[in-house]
Amino acid sequence: MRVLLQAQVGPGTIERLRALSPELDLVDVSGDDTFDVDALADPEIEVIIGRRIPTDLSRTPNLRWLQTGSAGVDHLAGDPPWNKGIVVTNGRGVFAVPIGEYVSGAILRINQPVGRWAADQAARHWPVDDEPVASVVRGRTAVLVGYGSIGREVARQLAALGLRIVAVKPRPEVRADASYRVPGTGDPDGSVPARIVGVEALAEVAREADYLILTLPLTARSRHLIDARLLAALPTTAWLINVSRGPLVDEDALLEALRAGRLAGAVLDVFEREPLPPDHPLWGTPNVTITPHVSGATARFRDDLVVENVRRYLAGEPLLNVVDPERGY
């Protein structure tokens, strides 16, 4: 079986893959910056570990499976591989731990005046008793919009801090999650949230949110899900945290809500246009934290998923994280 490895992997992963079977023929182009998948002409390739498949499949007639590194597969929506008979598996679960830590850290920073403390330290100033001190997050409510592998790990971490969790997902009756999961993390049986509701109840539960956290995939249905109407449902003390995809949020409506004081602030790791243009008004908006799409920036767990799925493929076992064509993720 021939596998094309286009994605960068960590030290030792290629050896782990080759050790799975003497029948595995691994073609490693991960270090070739000039490689163009559309130029691929190899009738023996069965698997691509990379971002996408070739546009012309006539030169790769045995291609059966694409393993992507990303959790989202919206970049494939224009020409879906699953419409051509190619199984697609994604990176659900491999970014859950770092994104969970990003969200937990963001919420703690919101409630601790770290900027003031840093300024006091630089000035060698010991504050008087009536100056700002940290507030406590325990007992507050986090509404998670999207409850896949990332949302479940965010929920686990925030629940450990004492937050009440409300989850919003398209199929609230499906509590279990069989996606790839780092051992000991996540919420595989859906027991962490105080409530799990459908997307149709989003505006209702948004009224309870101290933090509205977006961890859902981008699809035609979810684009601009967070619009002016939804933002108006949030308490004026609420924060929006987006670690999923920028187009989930109507940025014009968000800017208006922030400027009008109808929202306490936002932590944004993703944007409708990336890189965020230097003249974009979000840069200068008070109480907005901007990071450059880095909340899940680690390959630490991705390689484990790749090795496990290749092992399953060789053994004829069901693959992890198969994309559902009807749902688009």
- Positions marked catalytic: 245, 293
Terminal CA-CA length for the chain: 27
Three-state SS for 266? strand
Amino acid letter for position 150: I
Describe the crossing of helices 96-110 and 149-160 by its angle, rounded to 10 degrees: 40
Helix (H) or strand (E) holding 108: helix 96-110
Helix (H) or strand (E) holding 143: strand 141-145
Distances (CA, A) of 11 to 5, 68, 256, 299: 14, 19, 47, 11
Tokens in use for 165?
A: 């969790």
> In whole angstroms, what is the distance from residue 155 CA to residue 169 CA?
13
- Give the full edge-to-edge strand order of the sheet including 265-268: 195-197, 164-168, 141-145, 211-214, 239-242, 265-268, 288-290
Tokens in use for 276?
A: 């965020």
> In whole angstroms, what is the distance from residue 146 CA to residue 193 CA?
12
